[in-house]
Amino acid sequence: MKADFQFTLNGKPQRISAEARRTLLEVLREDLDLTGTKFGCGEGQCRACTVLLDGNPVRSCQTEIAEVEGRNVETIEGLAQNGKLHPVQEAFVKEGAMQCGYCVPGMILATVALLKRNPTPNQTQIVEALNGNICRCCGYVNVFKAVQRAAQPGKEAQ
């Protein structure tokens, strides 16, 4: 049985008709063609599917579409504004924080959420915040550097 749902998606109102049990991940990818959010495991273990729900990072593979009714969803596609990369995206590019890049949208959104609650995280806090995100290419060193760079806006200007 399909039902209608309304929520805010990347700053714009979104209306969708879908089975209530379908995951947010599947609806984003299959119904809305927002494929920047990735499927990695389907059990909430790898966080390639991370999106922001009311500003908090959630696993969209574990979130049913009914849960987002009336709420604010941000995906990787909504980060860059008018063709200008978000500072966290910029930091990932500058540090070469990607190998295959499949985990990167999830890593970036987890970082955006971290820096929103804690603009100056220390090493332990970065590791804690990102430990749920798997990178199988194991490019963790450069991802770590990218998060540090993003946490120091002064460095951006250089």
Partner 1 sequence: MKTQLREPEFTEPERYELHEGPFYHFDISRREFVQVLGAGVVLSVAVPRLFAQRAPENRPTNLAQRLHIGADGVITVLTSKVEVGQGSRTQLTQAAAEELRVPVDRVRFIMADTAVVPDDGGTAGSGTTPRSVPAIRRGCAAACQLLIDTAAAAFNADAKRLSVRDGMVEGLAEGQQFSYADLASEKHSKALQREVASGVSLAEVKEWRILGTPVPRVGASEIVTGAHRYPSDIRRPGMLYGKVLRPSSYGAQLEEIDLAPAKTSFGVTAIRDGDFVGFAAATSFEAELARDEAAKTAKWKTAEHPSSDDLYSYLRSHASSQRSRRDITGSPDETFKTAHKVLREAYQIAYIQHAPMEPRAAVAEWENGRLTVWTGTQQPSRVREELSRTFRLPDNDVRVIVPDTGGGFGGKHSGEVAVEAARLALAAKKPVSVRWSREDEFTWAYFRPAGVIDVAGALDENGALIAWEHVNFNSGASAIATPYSVLNVATEFKSCNQPLRSGSYRALASTANAFARESFMDELVAAAGVDPLEFRLRHLTNDRLRAVLVAASDKFGWKRAWKKNSSTQKTGVGLACGTEKGSYVACAVRIEVDDRVGTFKVLEAVEAFECGAIQNPANLTAQVEGCIIMGFGGALREEMRFKDGRMLNPKFSQYHVPRFKDVPQIETLLVNRPDLPSVGAGETPIIGIAPAIANALFNATQTRIRSLPIRNSAYRAAG
Contact positions toward partner 1, by CB under 8 A? 19, 21-22, 26, 29-31, 33-43, 45-46, 48, 75-77, 79-80, 85, 89, 92-93, 96, 98-105, 108, 126-127, 130-142, 144
The minimum distance between CB 158 and partner 1, in angstroms, equals: 16
Nearer of residues 9 and 46 to partner 1, judged by Cβ: 46
Nearer of residues 14 and 132 to partner 1, judged by Cβ: 132
Q: How far is the CB of 149 from partner 1 (least distance, A)?
A: 13
CB closer to partner 1 out of 31 and 54: 31
Nearer to partner 1, 63 or 75 (CB): 75
- Least Å from the CB of residue 38 to partner 1: 7
- At closest approach, how far in Å is the CB of 83 from partner 1? 10
**Strands of 56-59's sheet in order across:** 12-19, 2-9, 72-74, 50-53, 56-59
Residue 6 phi/psi, 5° resolution? -130, 135
User: Minimum Å distance from CB 71 to partner 1?
Assistant: 20
